[in-house]
């Protein structure tokens, strides 16, 4: 039996196929303005027996596909992370336009979580906009910030106000790498606060697209004084978890 998990996020869609608890295929595409159409495209030519959707677009997907099941992002990420890191007790997930911190018990069940989905502050979208304003590509942004000697304080996490601060600092001739580090520092402070509020304990796993940013990972570890574990493909954790949940559900039924 082949089981599929699809994570329809605000910025990207991920598809994972598993068979006998092993990943056999992964796909990714931009969400665009029509999530269901993009989901249809990413599934073209793919064969599976059951599918489960997660992410902000999961309900749209369920309407379009009568035989699809859905699961919350929190449960999906918990299942995906625990498959790769069975010892994980906490998860920080920062995606395109939301972030979440999750505390797990020894059995991998969600004990407490906090989610920021009301604005893009401290998310991948925030970093993308700030990178553009400073003349960096998104891939360059993290390494550039990591190379800075110091960080310049950014007072606002609101994207609009932060843009204004950045423009002002550039006009004063401040080093753009130091501005970049200051922006990364503000994201880390917000993330650390979320982890602390759920009582996160080690091992802590960082998932989502922002986990690919080396500066955020390093600054998180420094701020917490703890090791931060990062999956090889952090953006796939939600889809992987959804696939594993539907596989387990079907196996129990059978």
Q: What is the pLDDT of residue 68?
A: 83
Identify whether the C-beta of residue 2 lies closer than 8 Å to the C-beta of residue 244: no
Taking only the tens of pLDDT, the chain with its 254 residues reads 999 999 999 889 999 999 998 999 999 999 999 999 999 999 999 999 999 999 999 999 999 988 789 999 999 999 999 999 999 999 999 998 889 999 999 999 999 999 986 677 788 999 999 999 999 999 999 999 999 989 898 888 888 888 899 999 999 999 999 999 999 999 999 999 999 999 999 999 999 999 999 999 999 999 999 999 999 999 999 999 999 999 998 766 66
Sign for the pseudo-dihedral over CA of 128, 213, 122, 77:
positive
Which residues make beta-bridge pairs with 112?
103
Task: Determine the Cα–Cα distance for residues 249 and 89; give it in Å rounded to an integer.
Answer: 23
Q: How many CB atoms sit inside 10 A of residue 124's CB?
A: 27
Q: How many CB atoms sit inside 10 A of residue 47's CB?
A: 9
Residue with tokens 């489960």: 52
Q: What is the pLDDT of residue 184?
A: 96
Q: What is the pLDDT of residue 41?
A: 96
Q: 151, 161, 168, 169: which is closest to 215 by C-alpha?
A: 151
Global pTM reads 0.92
Q: What is the pLDDT of residue 117?
A: 65
């Amino acid at each position: 039996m082949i089981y599929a998990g699809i994570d329809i996020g605000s910025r990207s869609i991920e598809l994972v196929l598993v068979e006998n608890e092993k990943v056999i295929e992964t796909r990714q595409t931009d969400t665009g303005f029509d999530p269901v159409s993009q989901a249809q495209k990413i599934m073209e030519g793919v064969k599976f027996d059951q599918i489960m959707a997660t992410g902000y677009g999961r309900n749209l997907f369920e309407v379009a596909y009568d035989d699809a099941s859905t699961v919350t992002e929190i449960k999906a990420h918990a299942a995906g992370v625990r498959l790769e890191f069975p010892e994980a007790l906490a998860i920080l997930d920062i995606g395109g336009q939301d972030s979440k911190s999750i505390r797990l018990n020894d059995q991998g069940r969600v004990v407490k979580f906090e989610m920021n989905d009301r604005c893009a502050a401290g998310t991948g979208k925030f970093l993308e906009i700030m990178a553009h304003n400073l003349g960096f590509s998104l891939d360059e942004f993290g390494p550039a910030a990591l190379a800075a000697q110091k960080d310049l304080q950014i007072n606002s996490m609101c994207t609009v106000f932060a843009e204004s601060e950045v423009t002002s600092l550039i006009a004063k001739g401040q080093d753009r790498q130091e501005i970049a580090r200051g922006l990364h520092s503000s994201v880390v402070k917000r993330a650390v606060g979320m982890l602390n509020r759920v009582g996160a304990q080690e091992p802590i796993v960082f998932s989502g697209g922002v986990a690919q940013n080396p500066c955020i990972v390093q600054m998180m570890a420094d701020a917490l004084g703890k090791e931060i574990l990062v999956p090889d493909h952090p953006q796939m954790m939600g889809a992987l978890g959804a696939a594993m949940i539907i596989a387990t559900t079907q196996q129990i039924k059978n």
